[in-house]
Amino acid sequence: MSIATFDSLAQRIANGWVETIPDFLPVPTIPVLETAQQQFYTFLRGVAEAVRNNPERLDLKPQPDDGYEHGEAQNHRPELIDAMKKTKRKVDNFVALLLKIGVAGVVDGQTLHVQKQDVALPSPTRARLAYFGLTLETGKTETVITCDAFPKMFPAWTWLAAEATRTAPTTGPAHVPPMRFSRCLYSDTYPYTRDVLLRLAGDNPGLLTLIGFFEKEDYTLVCDRDNHITVDWVKSYGKPDDPLKDWWGERTHGGLAFEYDWIRKNPVLFGLRIPEFKRLLQHFNAMPDQVKTFVVQHTKHCDACNYCIQMDKTGTRPRAFIAVEYDGQHELCTMFPGFGYTWQVLDDSVATDIQAFLTFTDDILTRR
């Protein structure tokens, strides 16, 4: 995808919400009419676009636009990540309010009734909701909400809020609303995020090659890991209940992670999942030359940073590298190898290397 620039940091953060909403896909099997599904989808997407176009509607500060480069660590510019997280928290909090209204609301015709004891809607909040086309009439015990533009959307709002809450993941940041609600995902089985990321990836011919490989080799497709915009193709080499962690900290799953890394100027990121890396390096001599070249190129070479021995009190623990020989001597670090195997573009050459590496991984780790 092309790298976009914005008038402010707030617009960048809000754009991450807009462009990760999938195209509308009606679901005929849920107890909500397609008209209601379409109207609530259009309403929610419109809210996201309005926040992006006018961040002041959520009192988002007009800070200069910025983002991290590929491979740049957050601690290089801690003030930037702090500003980004504060801005995103405000957006998430507003989505959480919409979710709470949906859970508490009771539909009556073309109105939504919310008890005051269930959701506090003070005057500033009511004014903010009015920005997005909602009309709120406050009585003694309840607030009645209507929407002239989308009068039939309320059954979809309340149903999706309840379902998103019921199926909410137990992992990920606690304050982030379920992706199912914020992206208006009516189905709990359709891989919406795969479609979104394939669209955002643009011209990455190697990705289609790898998807064909994953389907042929029976890799499992996992979307929205830890309530993030992610797609993973994985094969497990550990226990059946081993959790799927971030790709860079992988231990038991092989495959590829594809994620929307919202803090980056180019948020599309691919990361290779590498299980039991030390064991794989112990079989370095058995690797095809293509895989050897790939591993030597992307693995960190020991630079005596001493991270691997920082807890050693004896001073005798050896550094965690494995020495290999291939076009010279190399001391390859075994710690967190995934950090070296990341890309923002997957061309055919990289895809071929990844496929060869994963094939070798499967051969070694499935031996008995």
Number of H helices, E strands in the chain: 11, 11
For residue 2, pLDDT over 80 is answered with no
Residue 173 pLDDT class (50, 70, 90 cuts): confident
Residue 250 CA to residue 135 CA, distance in Å, equals 49
Pairing of strands 329-333, 321-325: antiparallel
Give this prediction's pTM: 0.92
φ, ψ at 194 (rounded to 5°): -60, -45
The ranges assigned to domains in the chain are: 9-182, 192-365
pLDDT tens digits, one per residue of 214-254:
999 999 999 999 999 999 999 999 998 899 989 998 999 99
pLDDT tens digits, one per residue of 100-111:
999 999 999 999
pLDDT tens digits, one per residue of 243-258:
998 999 899 999 999 9
CA distances from 21 to 42, 48, 173, 299, 355 (A): 11, 9, 19, 35, 30
Q: Are the C-beta atoms of 134 and 154 separated by less than 8 Å?
A: no
Residue 368 CA to residue 365 CA, distance in Å, equals 8
CA distances from 131 to 134, 147, 175, 191 (A): 7, 11, 24, 32
- CB-neighbour burial class of residue 76 (10 A; exposed 0-12, middle 13-18, buried 19+): exposed
Q: Are the C-beta atoms of 150 and 45 separated by less than 8 Å?
A: no
Alpha helices in the chain (DSSP H): 9-18, 34-53, 78-104, 123-131, 154-166, 179-182, 192-201, 205-216, 277-282, 289-298, 348-365
Chain centre to alpha carbon of residue 116: 34
To 5 degrees, how large is the angle CA 351–CA 356–CA 357? 95
The three-class DSSP label of residue 100 is: helix
304 conformational bin, left if phi > 0, alpha if psi -120 to 50, beta if neither: left
